């Protein structure tokens, strides 16, 4: 399968939005259109750390997205990258799209001199975890959240 991975462009908004909504449904995270539109704006705003990649097939059809956030950290003088949202269209899973998106973030990170890329996933998300176990090290950390609103 021919695959193009690149940064999203303004013209990708409908495809990105569809993928992002499916990602939120998959994770049972209800978001308002105000929140999703603000995320889209931040992807293109200079000085904000949010960026997004899109995976396209040979016909230009969106197959997946990857939203990521680079930030400072106390473990290194270099930036770290939080892979916030990785979603592959259900019909395209198991065909290397997720792996290609992670590989592109990794390439960007090496090029930009990041210290680390990290992400979280559900314990029961076995399909994703089989890919993640193949491309990264499971650190065994457990996540805790404090909801502030």
Cβ contacts of residue 98 below 8 Å, gap of 6+? 64, 86, 88, 128, 131
With respect to residue 78, please indicate whether it lies within any of the assigned structural domains.
yes
With respect to residue 71, please indicate whether it lies within any of the assigned structural domains.
yes
Tens-place pLDDT, residues 31-73: 889 999 999 999 999 999 999 999 999 999 999 999 999 999 9
Q: Which two tokens stand for residue 53?
A: 């990649």
In DSSP terms, 81 is beta-bridged to 70, 117
With respect to residue 19, please indicate whether it lies within any of the assigned structural domains.
yes
- CATH number for position 70: 3.40.630.30
With respect to residue 107, please indicate whether it lies within any of the assigned structural domains.
yes
Query: Cα(45)–Cα(128) distance, rounded to whole angstroms?
Result: 30
With respect to residue 149, please indicate whether it lies within any of the assigned structural domains.
no
Number of domains making up the chain: 1
Tens-place pLDDT, residues 74-122: 989 999 999 999 999 999 998 999 999 999 999 999 999 999 999 998 8
Instruction: Using the predicted structure, report yes or no on whether residue 1 has a pLDDT greater than 80.
Output: no
């Amino acid at each position: 399968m021919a695959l193009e991975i690149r940064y999203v462009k303004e013209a990708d908004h409908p495809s990105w939005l569809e993928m992002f909504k499916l990602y939120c449904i998959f994770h049972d995270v209800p978001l308002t259109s105000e929140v999703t539109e603000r995320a889209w704006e931040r992807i293109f705003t200079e000085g904000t750390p949010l960026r997004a990649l899109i995976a396209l097939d040979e016909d230009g059809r969106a197959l997946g997205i990857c939203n990521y956030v680079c930030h400072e950290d106390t473990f290194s003088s270099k930036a770290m990258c939080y892979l916030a949202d990785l979603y592959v269209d259900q019909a395209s899973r198991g065909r290397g799209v997720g792996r290609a998106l992670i590989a592109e973030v990794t390439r960007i990170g090496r090029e930009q001199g990041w210290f680390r890329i990290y992400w979280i996933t559900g314990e029961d998300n076995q399909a994703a975890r089989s890919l993640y176990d193949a491309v990264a090290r499971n650190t065994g950390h457990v996540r805790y959240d404090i909801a502030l609103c």
